[in-house]
């Protein structure tokens, strides 16, 4: 399987994800956080530094759970930074705004 290169928007979103997780971790140990999320400290370091711009959903979910951060809040923070989505809309992983379904 050939993986396409990441777009600049995806790389930027990965950096925002890493920064958000780093802020949420605060003064907690990276090693303790990573081990509690059942990932390696090196993986968490790469995510926090933006070197892994598109980590697996299960990895992000595990780290967010350990840090007590909801995935909704995390996505809202990284997707709407720099105006990538209008309030009330969602953004697909490709960066495309999707309007909410009408009720």
- Tens-digit pLDDT string for the chain (103 aa): 888 899 999 999 999 999 999 999 999 999 999 999 999 999 999 999 999 999 999 999 999 999 999 999 999 999 876 544 444 444 444 444 444 444 4
> Which residue, chain included where needed, has tokens 């400290």?
41
Burial status of residue 88 (CB atoms within 10 A of its CB: 0-12, 13-18, 19 or more): exposed
Domain 8-78, CATH among 3.40.1160.10, 1.10.260.40, 3.20.20.10, 2.160.10.10: 1.10.260.40
User: Full-prediction pTM beyond 0.85?
Assistant: no
The domain ranges of the chain are 8-78
**Residues with Cβ < 8 Å from 79, sequence gap 6 or more?**
13, 85, 90, 91
């Amino acid at each position: 399987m050939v993986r396409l290169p990441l777009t600049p928007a995806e790389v930027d979103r990965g950096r925002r994800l890493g920064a958000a997780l780093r802020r949420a971790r605060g003064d907690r140990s990276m090693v303790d956080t990573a081990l509690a999320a059942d990932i390696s400290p090196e993986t968490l370091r790469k995510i926090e530094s933006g070197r892994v711009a598109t980590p697996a959903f299960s990895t992000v979910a595990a780290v967010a759970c350990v840090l007590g951060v909801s995935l909704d809040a995390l996505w809202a923070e990284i997707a709407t930074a720099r105006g990538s989505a209008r309030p009330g809309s969602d953004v697909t992983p490709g960066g495309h705004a999707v309007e909410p379904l009408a009720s």
